[in-house]
Amino acid sequence: MKFHPLFESYLNCSNSNEVFSYLYNTFTDSIVLWNYLVDWQKVFNNFQEIEIKLNLINYLIGKENIENKARFLFKEYPDLITIIPILLASRSLQFKILTDYYQGDLIYKIFNFETKNFLTTAELDKVIEFMKKTGLLDLLKSRKIKNIPDYVFGIEVGLDSNGRKNRAGTTMETIVESLLEPICQEQNFSLMLQATASKLKKEWEVDLKVDKSSRRFDFAIKTHNTMYLIETNFYGGGGSKLKSTAGEYRTLFDYISSQNYKFIWITDGLGWKSTKRPLEETFNYIDYIFNLKMTTTGLLADILSKEL
């Protein structure tokens, strides 16, 4: 890491080794916000999109001759088949099911639940087969579910919990954005969120070569004389991914520096506690790695304002 006397002023560190120790010893264990457990607005939006269809599926609850009743319902309302996957807590609309493997050959059937305006007899047969063999028809007939909309609302809450890992990354971006906005306003710098090469070219007339076409930086800051590209992430748990992540940012730093732009990596989380060496190698290689505590000391604001 590029050492500057500012580190001594803000962190009371007199060399790069002390700065790394500060970084490593001040990782935070949580950035959980209120919406981390459930993003209710997202759940409500997903539910409202299909609420009418869910009420139509209620027709099947408790029916004795349920296969025939289901066949009738989907023939009358073919677009209802799009609801079948969510009843099984899946957002996929196509399934490749292994139906036979006993003779050494793997036999599959494809089931597609994309929107249709009409269902042939063969397509209806496959819909009923899928619902029967996955247990959906028995579940509906048994009355163990009293109300399909309530049942699916619960499923939506459960599926939303799968997004918690992504929400940690989004929360990190939100926190860093709240730090960068006042700095940029005070210094009259331009701030761009989710910066891509095409977006930088269109809005700032900046030509940035990227290592891959999908490259998207969390933030770009155009100061009076240069541009900073900033990446953020949070790792609550360790794993092999962190080692490769650290290596990726060394390569990215080289790519950006060769074009005379600056790169800042803001990362946090106790996951780094189990991946110290790769982190330290990257720390010693690139100009700036900060955690949240370091950015809130005023250090980041001073580096940006002085264009260091």
* Domains of the chain, start order: 5-29+163-305 (3.40.1350), 40-161 (no CATH)
DSSP class of residue 211? Answer: S
Evaluate if residue 63 carries a pLDDT over 80.
yes
Kind plus residue range of the DSSP H or E element containing 230: strand 227-234
Evaluate if residue 165 carries a pLDDT over 70.
no
Evaluate if residue 176 carries a pLDDT over 90.
yes
Question: Beta strand 262-268 with 227-234: parallel, antiparallel or unpaired?
Answer: parallel
* Residue bearing the bigger pLDDT, 93 or 33: 93
Q: Which of 3-12, 159-168, 211-220 has the lowest mean pLDDT?
A: 159-168
* Residue bearing the bigger pLDDT, 31 or 265: 265
The model's pTM is: 0.72
CA distance linking residue 282 with residue 287, whole number of Å: 9
Evaluate if residue 299 carries a pLDDT over 80.
yes
CA distance linking residue 13 with residue 7, whole number of Å: 6
Which of 215, 224, 305, 218 is CA-nearest to residue 264?
A: 218
Evaluate if residue 99 carries a pLDDT over 70.
yes
**DSSP-based three-state secondary structure for 21:** helix
Evaluate if residue 178 carries a pLDDT over 70.
yes
Q: Measured on CA atoms in the order 45, 47, 50, 56, is the torsion positive or negative?
A: negative
Q: What is the pLDDT of residue 168?
A: 67
* Cβ-based burial of 137 (10 A; exposed 0-12, middle 13-18, buried ≥19): buried
* Residue bearing the bigger pLDDT, 1 or 124: 124
Evaluate if residue 20 carries a pLDDT over 70.
yes
Residue partners of 116: CB distance under 8 A and separation at least 6? 78, 79, 81, 123
Q: What is the pLDDT of residue 166?
A: 66
Q: Residue 115 is encoded by which pair of tokens?
A: 């929107």
CA distance linking residue 152 with residue 129, whole number of Å: 21
Portion of the chain with pLDDT greater than 90, in percent: 80
Q: Which of 25-39, 40-54, 56-70, 266-280 has the lowest mean pLDDT?
A: 25-39
Q: What is the pLDDT of residue 278?
A: 93
Which of 292, 284, 179, 277 is CA-nearest to residue 235?
A: 292
DSSP class of residue 104? Answer: S
**Which pLDDT band, with edges at 50, 70 and 90, does 217 fall under?**
very high
Neighbour tally for 105: CB within 10 Å:
7
**Which pLDDT band, with edges at 50, 70 and 90, does 270 fall under?**
very high
Instruction: Look over the chain and give the mean of its residue pLDDT values, rounded to a whole number.
Output: 92
Beta bridge partners of 109: 97
Evaluate if residue 2 carries a pLDDT over 90.
no
Beta bridge partners of 111: 95
**DSSP-based three-state secondary structure for 109:** strand
**DSSP-based three-state secondary structure for 95:** strand
Question: Beta strand 217-222 with 107-112: parallel, antiparallel or unpaired?
Answer: unpaired
CA distance linking residue 87 with residue 54, whole number of Å: 9
Q: Which amino acid is at 41?
A: Q
**Which pLDDT band, with edges at 50, 70 and 90, does 59 fall under?**
very high
Q: Which of 157-161, 189-193, 202-206 has the lowest mean pLDDT?
A: 157-161
Which of 169, 295, 307 is CA-nearest to residue 232?
A: 169
Evaluate if residue 35 carries a pLDDT over 80.
no
Q: What is the pLDDT of residue 266?
A: 97
